[in-house]
Amino acid sequence: MVFGTFDILHLGHVDLFLQAKKYAEQLIVVVARDERVKKIKGKAPIHSEEERRILLGHIDCVDEAILGDESDVYNVIVEKKPDIIALGYDQTVFVDKLEEVVSSNTLHTKVVRLKPYKAEKYKSGIIKEVIHSQL
């Protein structure tokens, strides 16, 4: 299982999915809800949560793309009981309580940190800056 906004899909995301897929037979991608993105990033995503979910569902290595829970981001972990949660190399949001949620729900979920893929080029913030500078 991986989590993210995935608003501007790029090769860094694809590499994240491929790395995560090596850990399990099924890859579930949890897409951040629009309201959660607004709270975290201070602005709405370019694409709606449903558009992002549909797009991710068309990537071959993604077995299931689902929307995150609206009230508690950790509910999806308790519901789906993933064997592995794969975090992006720079992922910091909602990871502070991850181990606590896993242990308090007696899950046997392992948390792994994935490696970056050309982080100087394939990072959403960098790509958005380039796009805005060209407008």
Phi, psi of 29 (to 5 degrees): -110, 125
Give me the sign of the Cα torsion angle 29, 33, 37, 40.
negative
pLDDT score of 107 more than 60: yes
Instruction: For strands 64-67 and 28-31, give the pairing.
Output: parallel
Helices (H), 22-123: 34-41, 49-57, 75-80, 98-104
**pLDDT at residue 122, as a whole number:** 55
Phi then psi dihedrals of residue 82, to 5 deg: -70, 150
Q: Could you tell me how far CA 27 lies from the centroid of its own chain?
A: 11
pTM of the model: 0.85
What is the end-to-end Cα distance of the chain in Å, rounded?
Answer: 36
Q: How confident is the model at residue 131 (pLDDT cuts 50, 70, 90)?
A: low
For the stretch 25-39, pLDDT in tens is 999 999 999 999 999
Give the bridge partners for 64, in sequence order.
28
d(Cα 73, Cα 67) in Å, to the nearest integer? Answer: 10
Give the whole-angstrom CA distance, residue 52 versus residue 32: 9
Q: Provide the annotated active-site residues.
A: 41, 43
Q: Which domains does the chain have, with CATH numbers?
A: 2-133 (3.40.50.620)
User: pLDDT at position 119, please?
Assistant: 57
**How confident is the model at residue 38, as a pLDDT?**
92
